[in-house]
Structure 1
């Protein structure tokens, strides 16, 4: 099975919180932003929420690409 381009974690892609992310981090449930760094050695994805000054690292299962 081939992974579609739209499913890849790529720097610059927009994201929203996934259902799991909203459940684990309810204060971030309605937030969106962009991916700023993808670690290939850990499960962390560095994101910048819209309106935020500093990036945040989240588990890759906590976000969904839009």
Structure 2
């Protein structure tokens, strides 16, 4: 799955199944995408209620409908 076309800045997201397995402390959290990069696999995200953004691998998040 190519998230660059599915996830854009400002898009809502939730953790994917892989993200929940790899980062269990973040399970059930959601937020918005604040930056993407075409050169790295990281996506900068801001979880709901967080003050600072976090960078996660593209495969760890999925679009929230």
- Compute the TM-score of the two structures, normalised by the length of structure 2: 0.89
Q: CA deviation at 1:26?
A: 0.2
- Compute the TM-score of the two structures, normalised by the length of structure 1: 0.88
Q: Say if 2:18 is the partner of 1:8.
A: no
Higher radius of gyration, 1 or 2: 1
**Aligned residue among 13, 18, 21 for 1:20:** 18
> Could you say what secondary structure the match of 1:42 adopts?
coil
**Residue segments in structure 1 that go unaligned for 5+ positions in a row:** none
Q: CA deviation at 1:30?
A: 0.6
**Residue segments in structure 2 that go unaligned for 5+ positions in a row:** none
- State how many pairs are aligned: 61
> Which residue is equivalent to 2:57?
59
| CA RMSD between the two structures | 1.3
Q: CA deviation at 1:42?
A: 0.4
